[in-house]
A and B are shown apart, each in its own frame.
Chain A
Amino acid sequence: MLKNQHNLVGNFLTMLNSTKSSVRDYLIKQLPTATAFINTRFEVVHASDQWIDSFEFSAPEVFGATIFELFGETGERWRPILESCFKGTCSKQNIDSYFNDSGEEVHIQWRNLPWYDENENIVGAIIQNQDVTQRIVNEQKLVKLGAFLDEKSKTAKIGSWELDINRNIWWCSMTKEILGVPESYIPSQESILSFFKEGESQQKMIKVTKLALEKGKPWSDKFQIITKNGEEKWVICTGNPLYQNGETTGLIGTFRDITEKVNQDAKSKEKEHLLQTLIDHLPINVFIKDTKARKILANKHELEFFGLQHENQILGKDDSHFITGESLKACLADDFYVIEKGKAILKKENTVVLNNGKEVTFSTSKIPLLDEDKNVIGLVGISLDISDQKVKEEELRRLINVTSLQNKKLVDFAHIISHNLRSHAANFSMLLEFLVTEKDKDEKQNITQMLVKASDGLLESLDNLNGVVAISTNINIDKKQINLSKSINKTANQLSDLLLKNNVTFINNVTESVVVKAIPEYLENILNNFITNGVKYRESTRDSFVKFKTTKEENYTVLSIEDNGIGIDLKKHGDKMFGMYKTFHHNEDAKGIGLFFTKKQIEAMNGKVEVYSEVGVGTTFKIYFNDKS
C-alpha cells in the first residue's frame, strides 16, 4: 500500500513538473495529503492546505519560512534526514509523537523524498505528513481488546472460533485448551467433527452448521465432546452467521466448557432422585404441611393410604378433607401446636377416624420445618400405621387373660384331683388300720365291705377325672353343622320315659332351620344333662316343663333352656354352680358332676354357659354356641 502510494506520488510529481507554476501552486494547494516542498535552504516553497492545517499554521507565514523556524527542535531532528534527501536518498517512513498545545498526544507519520526539477536535478525535498493519531489509538485499543478478550475467555472458559469465507477454521487458544489440542494445532473441516461424540452430538453439530450456512440461522446448544486425550466433556457451542451483501460468508461462535456444571446438575439431580425414591418407597406416611396445615407434599404411601391416585388430590388440603370427628380436632391441634410453638411432637399414638368410618391407629411425629432464618414455614410429618400392632397387642392381652384363666382352672383342677384322691386314700388307710386291729369277725366283714365301697368310689372318681381330661385335651375335635331342633327332639325321645314318669312337659320352640357348630357327642350329653336336670329339680307341686328356644347374639346362637323347677339361690351357690362334686339340693341322684361336665364341654366348643334362677320360680340356662369357631 505504501509502495503504491509512493508510485502515485511519483507520477503526480512528474505531472506537476510539466505544468505552469500558477497551476502547479493551485494543484499542490489541493493535494489530499499533507505535503510540503522545501528548497535546499529548508524554506517552504509549496504546501498543501492539508499540510498547513494539520500543523495549524497560517498560509502566508508558512511560505518562505524554514522548517527550523516552523518546528523548532523537532525540525532540527529532521535536518540530517533532509540533507541526505538533498543527496538523493529517500527517507524511511517515520512516526513522530508529540503533545500539541491542547496537551493531547499526536502521532505524525512522515516521509521525505528528494525534489527533482525537469532536468532531474535535486532542488529540494518533499515532506509528506500524515496524522496517524487515530490509527495509533485504534491499534492500541485493539491490543487492549485482544488482551481483555484473552483474559475473559480464560476466566470464563469461553473459547471462540471462526469459519471464514474460504472454509478455513480458526480456534482461539481457549477453544484449543477445552479440546485438549496444542496451541499449534490447525483444525480442518474434516477433523472437527471427530471432536463431537458420535451419535446425537455429532448429528446435531452437522445439522446446525448446515442450517446456519444455508439459512443463516444462529444456534446455541449443548454438545458432548471428546477431547484429544479421550476425555468426555459437555460444552455449549454457539454459532452466528456472518453476512456480506446478504450472503453468508462465514460463521463465528463461542465454545464454553460446562462439564462441571453438568456434572453438578447430574449429581444434585441424582441426590434429588434418591431422596424422592426414598420418601416414596418408605413404608410409612410422609407429608409436609404449610403454616395453614395444608399438605404441600405427600409420599406414595400416604396417597395409597387415602386411596388416592395423584398428588393433586391431596395437595393444598388440610386433614378436614380426610379425617372426621374428634380425631380431626386432635390432628389439627397438633399441627398448629408444632407450627405455632415450633416444637416437635414425637411418636404420638393417635387413632383417627377416616371419612369412610375406618379407624386407624398411628404413631405420628410432627417436626417443625424451618427456613434459613429459623422461621417456621410448615411441618414435616411421619406417620406409622400401628393398627395391626394394636390389634396384636389386644390379642396378646386377651391370650394372657385366657392363659391365666386356664392356669387358674388347672390349679383348681389339680386341687380337685388332689382332694378327691386324698379322700379315697385316707379312707383306705383308715379302714385298713381298723381291719388289721379288729378282732371281731362280723366287724371285719363290715370293714371289708366298706373297703369294697371305697374302691368303687375311687374307680368312679377316676372315671370322672378321666372324662374331664378327655374334654380338656380333645378341644381340637372337629365340629359339625348340627340341626339343633332335631337334636333336641332326639334327646327328648330317649328320655321320654323319664319325662312321662315325672309328668314334665317338653316344649321345643327352636326353629327347625337353626343349625349350630358342635361336637355331636358333646351336644347330646349337654342336652341330656339339662333335660335330666329339669326333671330332677322340678317343683312337684305344679305342672312342670322344660322349654327350649334359640336367639341370635353377635357371633353366637344362644339356646335357652327354661324350667319352672325349684330354682337355686345364685347368691349363695352361683360361684360353685358348675364346680366339680357340688350339689345343692337334697337329692339322692345329685352327684355334682353333671353341670361340671356340661360346662367343660360347652367351653371346649368355644362356647359359654350362663344361668338365671330364682328359688321357687325356676331356672334358665343359656348355652352360647359359637358361630365362627
Chain B
Amino acid sequence: MTKVNSIFIVDDDPITVFGIRKILNSIVDCNQIETFGNGKLAIDAIKNILENNGEIPEIIFLDINMPIMDGWQFMEEFINLPIEMRVRINVITSSIATADLDNWENYRKKTHHIVDYANKPVKRSEITKITKPA
C-alpha cells in the first residue's frame, strides 16, 4: 500500500467525496485525508499550513464546478503560493467542456506541480494510478 502523508479532497458533492474517500481507504496508507466544500476553504487551509510550517498535502483531488471559488480559481491562487515541493493535483470533474480541458493544458504548463485530469465517475483503477506522491 502506498504511503501518503496528507491528501486534500476539494469537492462540493458529498457523494463524490464519499466515493473518493472509500477508494482511497482501500489503496493508500494515509492518516490525514481532509475534505473542503469549495476552493476558497481549501486555499485558506493551505495558506494557514504555509504560515504555520505545517504539512502541505501531497495529493489534491480537485473538483471544477464549485460555489464561491471554483477549481480553476483555486488553481490560479495555488500555483502562485511559495510551495517548493511538487504537489500532485488530480482534477476530477464531470465536465466535458473543451474550455476546461484547455484550462488544464494551460495550468499544466504553467506550474511545476503535477496536474492530472480525470472524468467522473471515479474508478478504483484510475484513482490507484494517480494516487501517489509526485
Contact = CB atoms under 8 A, between A and B. Distances in A.
Given A431-B19, A453-B15, A426 B121 contact: yes
B19 A430 contact: yes
A427 B13 contact: yes
A582 to B, nearest CB: 6
Contact of B94 (A423, A454, A583): A423
A450 B94 contact: no
Interface stretch (A163-171, A242-250, A414-422): A414-422
Contact of B15 (A431, A584, A590): A431
A178 B113 CA distance: 118
Contact of A592 (B22, B67, B123): B67
B68 A581 contact: no
Contact of A419 (B16, B19, B65, B123): B65
Interface string A428-439: 011101100000
Residue of B16, B67, B96, B123 with most partner-chain A CB within 10 A: B67
B76 to A, nearest CB: 11
A585 interface: yes
Contacts of A341: none
Nearest to A429: B121
A581 B65 contact: yes
Q: Main SS of chain B's interface residues?
A: loop
A585 B18 contact: no
Contacts of A423: 13, 94, 120
Interface residues of A, number: 25
B97 A430 contact: no
B121 A430 contact: yes
Given A450-B15, A453-B15, A454-B15, A430 B120 contact: yes
Interface of A: 415, 418-419, 422-423, 425-427, 429-431, 433-434, 450, 453-454, 572, 581-586, 590, 592
Contacts of B19: 427, 430-431, 434
A419 B95 CA distance: 5
Given A431-B15, A454-B15, A422 B68 contact: no
Contacts of A583: 67-68
B122 interface: yes
Contacts of B121: 425-427, 429-430, 433
Interface string B62-95: 0001011000010000000000000000000011
B16 to A, nearest CB: 7
Contacts of A426: 16, 94, 119-122
Nearest to A443: B22
A586 B96 contact: no
B94 A422 contact: yes
Contacts of B94: 419, 422-423, 426
A27 to B, nearest CB: 153
12 contacts: A418-B96, A422-B95, A426-B94, A427-B13, A427-B19, A427-B120, A427-B121, A431-B15, A434-B22, A453-B14, A453-B15, A586-B68
B22 A422 contact: no
A615 to B, nearest CB: 13
Instruction: Name, among B68, B96, B97, the residue most crowded by chain A CB atoms within 10 Å (CB to CB).
Output: B68
A426 B95 CA distance: 11
B13 A584 contact: no
Contacts of B18: 450
Contact of B96 (A422, A585, A592): A422
A587 to B, nearest CB: 9
A572 B40 CA distance: 12
Nearest to A582: B67
Contacts of B14: 453
B13 A590 contact: no
Interface string B1-26: 00000000000011110110010000
Nearest to B19: A430
A427 B65 contact: no
A625 B67 CA distance: 30
A418, A419, A572, A583: residue with the most chain B Cβ atoms closer than 10 Å: A419
Contacts of B96: 418-419, 422
Given A581-B65, A584-B68, A592-B67, A422 B15 contact: no
Nearest to A585: B68
A410 B97 CA distance: 14
Given A419-B95, A422-B120, A590 B16 contact: no
A290 to B, nearest CB: 67
Given A423-B120, A582-B67, 5 more contacts: A426-B120, A434-B19, A583-B68, A584-B67, A585-B68
A453 B16 CA distance: 12
Contacts of A434: 19, 22
A606 B76 CA distance: 38
Contacts of A584: 67-68
Contacts of A586: 68
Nearest to A424: B94
A536 to B, nearest CB: 14
Nearest to B95: A419
A346 B95 CA distance: 57
Q: Which 9 A-B pairs have the closest CB atoms?
A: A426-B120, A583-B67, A426-B121, A430-B121, A422-B94, A429-B121, A423-B94, A427-B15, A430-B19
A458 to B, nearest CB: 11
Nearest to A422: B94
B130 to A, nearest CB: 16
